[in-house]
Amino acid sequence: MFPKLTPTTRAIILINVLVWLIEKMAWVPMAKHFALWPLATPEGLFRPWQLVTYAFLHDPTNILHIFFNMFALYVFGPALESYWGARRFLAYYFVCLIAAGCTQLAVQYAAGSGEPTIGASGAIFGILLAFAMLFPRVRLLLYFVIPMPAWLFVAGYAVLELFFGVTGREGSVAHFAHLGGMLGGAVMMLYWRMRPDGGGWRPS
């Protein structure tokens, strides 16, 4: 049974789709101004707002890029938004995407690479982490076939991302950004947990 879309999750999905359609008509200026450019690009294309805007851009030539990100948000976002409330869910989403962007910038700076980064995957991995922490025993289907608890599903993805990132496999994918999104989410969840009111561990 598919989840019922909640307002904030629906809005994020619609914004991503709208931006993707604009990209198909004006990809070059969109990428130049709103993709996340490395700090050390000779052209000096990095701008601070790109730490947010990059997460609303997807490859305009590959519909699967935006489809899988938005499908994951559609599946896991409503449960978190219903549990936390819209404001806390939105804050968490933005913390994850910014943490993912900062991680990607740090890794690129250390490696001396100069490719721009786009996509909501860092924020989505943060969403996956929160779902697994709040609903660890919910059964998910790996490849829509193999059932496993949410905590194992997400832990497996994290291990794979670390493996691919360290070994350099699938070099066109920002694996460390995905891990950065999860790290940002983990820090925020820990902060909420340490608050006297229980923060993100109880509904608002």
Q: What is the pTM of this model?
A: 0.87
CA dist list (Å): 27 to 22, 55, 58, 101:
8, 15, 10, 20
Q: Which two tokens stand for residue 167?
A: 């070994």
Write the single-letter amino acid at 125. F
Residues linked to residue 97 through DSSP beta bridges, in sequence order: none
- 140-168 residue pLDDT tens: 665 556 677 776 777 776 676 665 555 55
Q: pLDDT digits over 110-139, tens only? A: 877 778 999 998 999 999 999 998 988 777
Q: Which fold has domain 7-201?
A: Rhomboid-like fold (1.20.1540)
Q: Where are the domains of the chain?
A: 7-201
Q: Which two tokens stand for residue 46?
A: 């990095």
